[in-house]
Amino acid sequence: MADVNRGNRPLSPFMLGKYYRPQLNSVTSILTRITGNAMIVAALMIAWWLIAAATSETAFNRADWFVTSFIGDVIMFFSVLGLWYHSLAGVRHLIWDQGLCLEMETADKLGWVVIGGSVVLTLLTVIIV
């Protein structure tokens, strides 16, 4: 094991850009990752809002002003969209993990369900909340 190559092994190429033709599956996959990571912004805002509410009225008003401001509303709106999208895409992954719905046509259909479903759920959330 003395000559084991550690850390300098070839990596698989990063297949985006002109060498790669995007299709529904790859786009929905990358959106799952983007939405999952982007929600950290909303998480930071919610943590700030909660700790401010636990601290004092002045602190709460400051945090609440930002969270309910125009920028805060825009961030929250896209976070809700991202949250529903990520949730539905996660359910799709759980289905795939069972070895189901892996045929191209079914997987594509589920992709549109994830996209359409997240828009519908976001509109419902905006109406109810």
Partner 1 sequence: MRYITDRKRAVGLGSAKSGTSHHWHMQISSIALIVLVPLFVFTFGSALGGTYEEVTAYYSRPFPAIVAALTIWVGMLHFKSGAQTAIEDYVHGFTGRITIIAVTCVAYAIIAVSVYALIKLAL
Write out the residues near partner 1 by the rule CB under 8 A. Answer: 7, 11, 14, 33, 36-37, 39-40, 43-44, 46-51, 53-54, 57, 60-61, 64, 67-68, 76, 80, 83, 87, 90-91, 93-94, 97, 125, 128-129
Residue nearer to partner 1 on the CB measure, 33 or 104: 33
Q: Name which of 67, 71, 18, 22 is nearest 45 in CA terms.
A: 67
Instruction: Give the DSSP letter of residue 9.
Output: P
CB of residue 106 to partner 1, shortest distance in Å = 20
Residue nearer to partner 1 on the CB measure, 104 or 120: 120
CB of residue 99 to partner 1, shortest distance in Å = 14
Residue nearer to partner 1 on the CB measure, 96 or 104: 96
CA distances from 48 to 40, 56, 71, 108, 109 (A): 12, 12, 15, 39, 39
The CA distance from 54 to 129, in Å, is 23
CB of residue 5 to partner 1, shortest distance in Å = 13
Residue nearer to partner 1 on the CB measure, 30 or 104: 30
Find out whether 16 and 100 touch, Cβ atoms under 8 Å: no
CB of residue 118 to partner 1, shortest distance in Å = 12
**What tokens appear for 81 in the block?**
């969209």
Find out whether 111 and 30 touch, Cβ atoms under 8 Å: no
